Structure 1
Amino acid sequence: MSDHSTTIVPALSAYPGKEDKAKEILNWLVAEDIIKPTLSDCVLSASGGYAIAEGARAVIGSAKRGPFDLAVNGLEIVTERQVFDTGGNGVEELICPSCDQDLAAEDWSFIDDWYQGHTNDVVCPVCNTAADIHLFRFTPVWGFSDLGFRFWNLPDLTEAFINRFQQKLGCTVSVVYQRI
């Protein structure tokens, strides 16, 4: 069985006050008993994560039992600019908001300036038009931000939970499903 994650990513390249917001979300998730309050090695990250707690059963969809006994089963909070990709799920299409062309087969170096933090826009290699990276349509969904909340090996999160997360973040979110 391979590991997978579901990451909730604000649709903002540079989230204002990201460290404070990360702490606020962490405190909320601990108060709801969705995660445990101490860092552990429960995620696939050297910086550690927060193990899943019993209250997480209330925010998962179809499999209420959940795989709570896995070694990799927790929340990783990312506070550095990152492309939140789908891993083994790949990308089927990447549509430019200006020319409506599918860029999935193009050289993806046009995203480099965004990744390095030089700009929040990317320039389409087909029409040479700059647009905010969040206007490009990725199928399946990818995320682009300096803040992200990656849940490792949890079943589907409920729509209600994702909506609450979006309210707490105060902006639209991308939900990225990754398989590694």
Structure 2
Amino acid sequence: MAEQQTILVPRISSFPGHEARARAIVRWLVQQGIVDERLSTCGGLGNRMAHAIGPGARRVVERPQLLPFDRPANGLEIVSKRCIYTPTRDFLEEAGCPECRQEIGEALFDSLEEWMPGRTDNFICPECGHEDDVNGFLFLQPCAFSNLGFVFNGWGAAGFRQSFLDEFAERLGHPVAQVHVDL
């Protein structure tokens, strides 16, 4: 079975107070028994430290039998730096303007060279001049751009319930993108 990640990302480039909000989300997930409070080496990034999957995870997914309880990488990792979250395979880099509905993917993805170091959060449509946070544009495939991301290692096949995604977004105070990554 290939390793994969499901990443929940707020649709805002510069999430204010992102580290404090991440701690609040982790506290909520721990209280629900969805993840463990203590960090262990069950992650897939960097030093592999993550919050291991908890028994409450069964309540927030569509297919609990597919949760990765028996896999070494099964935890939740928090990314608190500016990052581009896209699928790793077959990502088309297609985007549209919400104002004029024109295809502007090439220009938008080229602009991420300015976005990544934090010189800007916004993109201006080259067709109509509409300006918004880069996350405000339309994408054919789920992706997001933010200084905050919640990486669930191995949870993708289980599929989050919509009610969980809605509550997650409500607690964050921003809509979220759900990005699937195959490693």
Secondary structure (helix, strand or coil) at the match of 2:29 reads helix
Retained in 2: the 8 A contact 1:75–1:152?
A: yes
Q: Percent identity of the aligned residues?
A: 33
| 108 and 93 in structure 1: CA distance in 2 versus 1, 3 angstrom threshold | closer
Contact 2:93 2:109 in 1 (8 A): no
For the pair 1:24 / 2:24, whether they are aligned, the reply is yes
Pairwise CA distance, 1:125: 5.3
Q: For residue 51 of structure 1, what is the aligned residue in structure 2?
A: 52
Q: Deviations over 1:90-148 (max 9, x none)?
A: 13622133443334456832111111101111244566654320122112110111111
Using a 3 Å threshold, how does the CA distance of structure 1 residues 164 and 107 change in structure 2: closer, same or farther? closer
In 2, Cα distance between equivalents of 1:107 and 1:141:
15
Task: Answer yes or no: is 1:2 the counterpart of 2:2.
Answer: yes
Partner secondary structure for residue 24 of structure 1: helix
**Residue 176 of structure 1: aligned partner:** 179
Preserved CA contact (<8 Å) 1:40 1:49: yes
Q: TM-score, structure 1 length as denominator?
A: 0.89
Aligned counterparts of 2:143 and 2:107: Cα–Cα separation in 1: 17
Q: Deviations along 1:54-98, whole A, 9 cap, x unmatched?
A: 111111112445221111111011111111111124136221334
Q: Please state which structure has a larger fraction of its residues in helix.
A: 2
Query: What is residue 166 of structure 1 aligned with on the other side?
Result: 169
Aligned pairs for 1:92-131 (under 5 A) are 93-104=94-105, 108-124=109-125, 130-131=131-132
Partner residue, 1:70:
71
Q: 1:91 to 1:43 in 2, by over 3 A?
A: farther
Aligned-residue CA RMSD (Å) = 2.0
Describe the SS at the equivalent of 1:57.
Answer: helix
TM-score (normalizing by structure 2): 0.88
List per-residue Cα deviations over 1:133-168 (Å, max 9, x = no partner).
Answer: 012211211011111111111120111111110111
Give unmatched runs, 5+ long, in structure 2.
none
Structure 1 contact 110–124 (Cα < 8 Å) conserved: no
Local SS of the residue matching 1:29: helix
Residues 1:122 and 1:21: Cα distance change in structure 2 (over 3 Å): same
Contact 2:93–2:106 (Cα < 8 Å) also in 1: no
> Aligned partners of 2:2 and 2:101: how far apart in 1?
34
For structure 1, which segment, 56-65 or 98-107, has the greater mean C-alpha deviation from structure 2 after superposition?
A: 98-107
